[in-house]
Amino acid sequence: MRTATLEGIFLDPSFIIIFFVILGTIANILIGVSMLPEDKRKKRFKTHRFIFYLIIISYGGFLWFSNSPGESELFKYIVLAYFLFIIPLTRRINVTFHAILA
C-alpha cells in the first residue's frame, strides 16, 4: 500500500535510500569536478571511486527495498545499467565527457 502523507513518504526505507543515493551522486560529481586538474587527480581518485561503489550498493539496496512487480521496474533497472556501464565507459573515452554524463 502506498503512503499518502509526507510523514509516510519520508519514513519509507526506499525513499531514504534513494535520497542518499542522490546526495551521494551529487557529492561524487563535485569530487570528480574538483579533481580535474592533473595535480589533484591521484589524491582524490580513490575517494571518487569509493563513493561510486557506495552509490551502486545503495541503489542495489533501493531496488531490494522497493521490489514491487509491475511498477516501473524497467526504469529502475535502466538507471542501474546507466550507473554500471555508461558512466565507467565514458571515463575511458574522455574525462570531460565522463563529467558531463555523470
Gap between the Cα atoms of 30 and 90, Å rounded:
17
- Give pLDDT, residue 50: 92
Q: Which domain holds residue 55?
A: 9-101
The answer as to whether 1 is a domain residue is no
The answer as to whether 77 is a domain residue is yes
The answer as to whether 92 is a domain residue is yes
- Give pLDDT, residue 88: 81
Query: Sign (positive/negative) of CA torsion 57, 63, 64, 65?
Result: positive
First to last CA, the chain: 33
The answer as to whether 2 is a domain residue is no
Consecutive sets of 10 residues in the chain, 102 residues long: mean pLDDT of each? Answer: 69 84 90 78 83 90 76 78 84 78 74
**What cell numbers appear for 17 in the block?**
535510500
Domain total in the chain: 1
- pTM value is 0.75
- Give pLDDT, residue 32: 84
Kindly give, in sequence order, each residue whose CB lies less than 8 Å from that of residue 30, ignoring residues fewer than 6 positions away: none
Gap between the Cα atoms of 32 and 98, Å rounded:
9
The answer as to whether 62 is a domain residue is yes
The answer as to whether 50 is a domain residue is yes
